[in-house]
Amino acid sequence: MRNPLRLAEGRTLVEQLRLLLGNVGSSVVPTILVALLLVWVLSNESNATGLRVWAGMVILSKLWCAREARRMLAMEIPPDRARGLVWQQMSLNAVDGAIWGALGWAALGTTTMAGSVLVVAVLAGVAGSSMSSLAPVLPVFIVFGSTELAVLAAKLWTLDDPAYNALGVAGFLYVVTLLGQARNSAKAALAAIKLRFENVELIERLRVETGHAQAAHQQAEQANLAKSKFLAAASHDLRQPIHAQGLFLEVLARSKLTASQYDALANARATWQASAEMLDTLLDFSRIEAGVVEPQMQVFPLQPLLNKIENELAPQADAKGIVYRSRETHVAVRSDPALVALILRNLVSNAIRYTERGGVLVACRERGGRAVIEVWDTGIGIDASQHEDIFREFHQLGNAERDRRKGLGLGLAIAQGLARALGTTLVLASRPGRGSCFRLALPTAQMGVVSSGVEVIPGHSSVFDVRVLVIDDDDAIRAGMRQLLTAWGCECDVADSIEEALALARLRPPGLVISDYRLRELRTGAEAIAALRAEFGLQLPALLITGDTAPQRLREARASGVPLLHKPVSPNQLYHGLVCVLNDVELDSSFAMLEATPDAGLKRA
């Protein structure tokens, strides 16, 4: 702690000075009252004039000190002027202390012993009061107290009376005691001022750091938004040619080909399927981010769904030489079977991908009214420090080279997002080198007469007897749709704009409209369908197809209320979409069947 007898520097001294000056104003009225009271009590014929002069000097001195204090408090005190102002205060208080000490010269020896005791008591009280008000700048109090004591002691010495000498010694001891207390008060004031400055600096640092953190958070949000926009734009632009490619491959498959051409076609379709699956994964993630996944809750038994997943994925385990096993369960749950199937498919696929020895086990336990589905594996395991990171998008373990055969790193992010949409969460337990266990808890329910929701998709044996109007601004997609729909028995008109579609519809009224969502000039397929329905009736069947994965676009498309498919649309999906809209069947319920197939993603609008 800095010695309070030494003046502080800079802003600390300024604050000490302002604290001292702030105490001056409160002592003006008490000083005037005490001075007038002493004149009234102690005055007699021999000392009346002296006491009046003394009282006037005390009042003038105090008023002057108060005026100077108010003036200095009203201005900004520069740190380089603080020392000079301290010396000024020392001078003013030296004069004030001398005037107070002069009370002894005006009253002692001319009044009674009781009056003399009163004089000494008042001077002691003034010294004590000054200690509390002047202690913030200790040298100022020392000057005041020393001057008051010196002037009083000089008078007591001239009286040459043992009693007065004793009063002088007592006064000296009292002032020494006050000096000790003043020193402690000065230390406390100095510490409080420094602490306040430290707090101010801390608050300022926190403000700056908060600003930096907010700026970093804003940058992170902007980067995340830019990432989402990039993924949406890239996904849309990739979906257009892949969607057209799938249409042409389907048309080509219906042609007469040689054996080698069929082999080449099979390879081309496999490549198309792999590309479509990766784009579907991106779409699933975008749909979760957009918040447009709405669970369709129903009661269903778990075992058929577990059997379906085992039939689909067990061949992958067999190919790696590991065991795939699922325990039988008779539990029924209330949830969305399509979303549960997609979560489990992601978990089982991951388990197979990261297991080289041993196997994968899928089991279900009933605990407290909930069915806990567990996916166990004997794979590489996951370190505890990675338990949160693996649920982040594009985070993969052991795939620094980004091998596309190991996926995109979105499976667990999608699974966790879907679990949250179902009102639950995924729980992970894992040990490096020993394997992992993912748990999904679902509410149990009593089975009634319900559909399993995992049926076999019928073949395209029937043809359509309907005129279809296709609206798309991509030439290749229009050509592919015309050929495929014609092969299905449809009469097909194609248009690249809303105006052309209306013109064709007036010539040949359509029985079904299929429109791309994003058209030229920032117009949408929802607008096109609304315009056609305004002219041909609200019951005109319609289907939207989009390659957009931007969250805002997905929400807009969903708000249109028109059934929605996502590019690249497989011929299977398009066929069943047509069946649903032409028969006024809810598209979501039909697509629950498609979502249970290995190559399907989230198809909810």
Query: Cα-flanking dihedrals φ and ψ of residue 111, to 5°?
Result: -135, 180
What distance in Å separates the CA atoms of residue 48 and residue 144, rounded to the nearest whole number? Answer: 26
In a domain, 5, yes or no: no
Q: Which is it for the CA torsion 168, 174, 180, 181, positive or negative?
A: negative
* Cross-strand partners of 544: 515, 564
Based on the domain organization, do 423 and 463 belong to the same domain? no
Query: Cα-flanking dihedrals φ and ψ of residue 366, to 5°?
Result: -95, 125
Q: Are 372 and 441 in contact (CB under 8 A)?
A: yes
Burial of 34 (0-12, 13-18, 19+ CB in 10 A): middle
CA distances from 408 to 8, 106, 335 (A): 65, 99, 27
Based on the domain organization, do 393 and 494 belong to the same domain? no
Report residue 229's pLDDT band, with 50, 70 and 90 as the boundaries.
low
Q: Are 490 and 469 in contact (CB under 8 A)?
A: no
**Of the given ranges (216-225, 466-475, 530-539), which has the lowest mean pLDDT?**
216-225
**Of the given ranges (99-108, 334-343, 374-383, 454-463), which has the lowest mean pLDDT?**
454-463
Based on the domain organization, do 331 and 202 belong to the same domain? no
What distance in Å separates the CA atoms of residue 443 and residue 87, rounded to the nearest whole number? Answer: 82
- Statement: residue 591 has pLDDT above 70: no
Based on the domain organization, do 37 and 181 belong to the same domain? yes
**Of the given ranges (202-206, 240-244, 563-567), which has the lowest mean pLDDT?**
240-244
Burial of 541 (0-12, 13-18, 19+ CB in 10 A): buried
Please give the share of the chain, as a percent, with pLDDT higher than 70. 78
Spell 107-129 as b/e; 16+ CB within 10 A means b: bbbbbeeebbebbbebbbebbbb
Q: Are 342 and 426 in contact (CB under 8 A)?
A: no
Q: At which residue do the structure tokens 């969903």 appear?
A: 558
Q: Supply the CATH number for residue 287's domain.
A: 3.40.50.2300
In a domain, 219, yes or no: no
Based on the domain organization, do 496 and 577 belong to the same domain? yes
Length of the chain, in residues: 605
Q: Are 490 and 464 in contact (CB under 8 A)?
A: yes
pLDDT of residue 232: 60
- Statement: residue 513 has pLDDT above 90: yes
261-270: pLDDT as tens digits? 777 777 776 6
In a domain, 247, yes or no: no
The residue with greater pLDDT, 174 or 49, is: 49
Q: Are 131 and 141 in contact (CB under 8 A)?
A: yes
In a domain, 228, yes or no: no
- Statement: residue 597 has pLDDT above 60: no
Helix (H/G/I), strand (E/B), else coil: 491:
strand
Query: Cα-flanking dihedrals φ and ψ of residue 398, to 5°?
Result: 65, 35
What distance in Å separates the CA atoms of residue 77 and residue 59, rounded to the nearest whole number? Answer: 27
What distance in Å separates the CA atoms of residue 162 and residue 240, rounded to the nearest whole number? Answer: 115
* End-of-domain residue from the set 207, 231, 248: 207
Based on the domain organization, do 380 and 307 belong to the same domain? yes
Q: Which is it for the CA torsion 482, 486, 487, 490, positive or negative?
A: positive
What distance in Å separates the CA atoms of residue 436 and residue 523, rounded to the nearest whole number? Answer: 49
What distance in Å separates the CA atoms of residue 452 and residue 295, rounded to the nearest whole number? Answer: 16
Assessment of whether the complete model's pTM goes beyond 0.75:
no
pLDDT of residue 363: 92
Based on the domain organization, do 368 and 509 belong to the same domain? no
Q: Which is it for the CA torsion 492, 493, 497, 502, positive or negative?
A: negative
Cβ neighbours of residue 431 under 8 Å, at least 6 residues apart? 381
- Statement: residue 5 has pLDDT above 90: no
* End-of-domain residue from the set 443, 471, 496: 443
Q: Which domain holds residue 568?
A: 257-292+459-605
Helix axes 138-159, 162-253, angle to 10 degrees: 170
Based on the domain organization, do 55 and 134 belong to the same domain? yes
Report residue 532's pLDDT band, with 50, 70 and 90 as the boundaries.
very high
pLDDT of residue 406: 47
Q: Are 510 and 581 in contact (CB under 8 A)?
A: no
Report residue 449's pLDDT band, with 50, 70 and 90 as the boundaries.
very low
Q: Are 581 and 564 in contact (CB under 8 A)?
A: no
What is the residue-wise DSSP string for 13-40? HHHHHHHHHHHHGGGHHHHHHHHHHHHH
Helix (H/G/I), strand (E/B), else coil: 563:
coil
In a domain, 163, yes or no: yes
Based on the domain organization, do 382 and 471 belong to the same domain? no
327-352: pLDDT as tens digits? 888 889 998 887 888 888 888 988 89
**Of the given ranges (137-151, 184-198, 236-250, 462-476), which has the lowest mean pLDDT?**
236-250
pLDDT of residue 402: 41
**Of the given ranges (150-164, 404-418, 559-573), which has the lowest mean pLDDT?**
404-418
Instruction: Tell me how many domains the chain contains.
Output: 3
pLDDT of residue 392: 67
